[in-house]
Amino acid sequence: MTVRRYVSIAMLLFAGAPLRGQQRPQQPAMATTEGDYIVHDFHFKSGETMSELRLHYTTLGKPVRDAAGHTTNAVLIMHGTGGSGQSLLVPIFTDVLFGPGQPLDTNRYFIIFPDAIGHGKSSKPSDGMHAHFPQYDYDDMVAAQHELVQRGLGVDHLRLVMGTSMGCMHSWVWAETYPSYMDALMPLACLPVQIAGRNRMWRAAIINGIRNDPDWRGGEYTEEPHGALEMAGTLQLIAGSTPIHMQQDAPTRDAADRYLRDYLNRFASTFDANNTLYAFSASRNYDPSPGLDKIMIPVMWINSADDFINPPELGIAEREIKRVKNGHFVLLPASEQTYGHGTHTHAAVWRQYLEELLDASRH
C-alpha cells in the first residue's frame, strides 16, 4: 500500500483540462442505451420490502464475453448523492475517458451507469410513497446495483468498479460485499470510514432542516418546502465548492449574491425534499473500515486537497490505505485544475492514475 501526495505542476498543466473561460470543441454525442430493470420482492436491511423496485441504467458500448460466457470488459461507474447516471455524462468526464484511444474507450469497454435507489429514474420517494418509502441505506443501494448488473444486464464480472462521492463510498461497499466480482477499484472523493465529525453534522443539518420545516408536513407536502430546500442547497453548495473558483466566479458582493440566488433557484426547481432527505440519510450507517484488510484487488483511491467534505488534514486516508494490501492513495494538491469535492468529475486531472490502475490489474 502506498500514499502519493503530490502531482507535479507540469503534469496538471498538461493534463488536458481546458483553462477557465475556454471551451472544448463540441464532440458528437455518444450513443447511449437506457433501460429499466425491475427487481421483484426486494428486501431492505430495515426489514421493509418492495414488490417492484425499478432500477434505471444507462450504458455505453457493448459487453464482450469469453469462450466460457464470462463478461470481460464491463465497467461500473456510480454517481454521487442527488445525481444519476446521466449526471456523469458531461464533457469533462466523457470527453476524457470514453473516446477512441482513451482509457475506457467504448469501442473496447461496456460502461454501466446505474441510477441508485432514490435517484434519477430509479424508484424513489417522490414516485408516490413519499416518507413511507423504505428506509434504504448504502448496503441496500449496492445490493440493488448488483441485482441490476448480474441479473438485469447479465454481467457476471466487472473489469473495473469506480464511483464519485457517494458512488466512491459505494465502491468500497462493492469491494467488500462482492470481493471476487471485479478486477480493480477506483474510489473518487470519499473516505472508507464512518461519516462523523463535520461531515456528519452538515448532512444531519440537511436532514433535520427538512424534517423540521412545517411545510414538509411529515413528507406529505403538496408544494415543495422552499425553506428546507434552500437550506439544503446552500449547504451542498458550500460543501461541494472550492474557494479559488468560487472567488473567480463571484469576485464582487453583487456577483456572489446573484450566483447564490441563481443556484438556489435551480436547486429548488430540480430537487425534491423527500428524495433529498432519504439520499442523505442513506449514509447514516456507512462504515467499510473493518473490512479494508480483506480487499485484495488493486485499488487506486483519489482525493483532492481542497475537498471540504474529505479534508486531508484529518489524515484518515493515509492511515486507512495502509490496511489495503494492494492499495494506492493519491492526494491531488489544490490548484486551478482542481474543483474541491467536484474534482471527481474533472477526469483530466486524474486520468493518468486510471491508466495506471488498468495496467496494474490487466490479466
The pLDDT tens digits of the residues spanning 76-94 come to: 999 999 999 999 999 999 9
How much of the chain, in percent, has pLDDT values that exceed 90? 90
Name the one residue in this structure whose C-alpha cell is 461496456.
Answer: 110
- The 10 Å Cβ neighbour count of residue 224 is 19
How many angstroms separate the CA atoms of 231 and 239, rounded?
Answer: 12
CATH architecture of structural domain 198-280: Orthogonal Bundle (1.10)
Per-residue pLDDT band for 363 (boundaries 50, 70, 90) equals: confident
Answer yes or no: are the C-beta atoms of 149 and 165 closer than 8 Å: no
DSSP-based helix, strand, coil % in the chain, nearest 5: 40, 15, 40
User: Rounded mean pLDDT of 87-105?
Assistant: 97
Options 3.40.50.1820, 2.60.40.10, 1.10.287.90, 3.50.50.60; CATH of 2-193+287-360: 3.40.50.1820
Average of per-residue pLDDT across 152-166: 98
Sheet holding 327-332, edge to edge: 2-4, 327-332, 299-304, 185-188, 160-164, 74-78, 110-114, 49-60, 33-43
pLDDT at 9 over 50: no
- The amino acid occupying position 141 is M
pLDDT of 150: 98
CB 256 within 8 A of CB 249: no
- How distant, in Å, are the alpha carbons of 112, 156, 345 from that of 88? 11, 24, 7
Over its C-alpha atoms, the chain yields an Rg (Å, rounded) of 20
Q: What are the tens digits of pLDDT across the range 14-73? A: 223 322 222 333 444 678 999 999 999 999 999 999 999 999 999 999 999 999 999 999
CA distance 239 to 166: 14
| pLDDT, tens digit (0-9, with 9 covering 90-100), for 307-318 | 999 999 999 999
Distance, CA of 151 to CA of 145 (rounded, Å): 10
Q: Tell me what pLDDT residue 11 has.
A: 25
Question: Which helix (H) or strand (E) covers residue 207, if one does?
Answer: helix 197-212
Instruction: Tell me which H or E stretch contains 147.
Output: helix 138-147
Domain ranges of the chain: 2-193+287-360, 198-280
Has residue 345 got a pLDDT over 90? yes
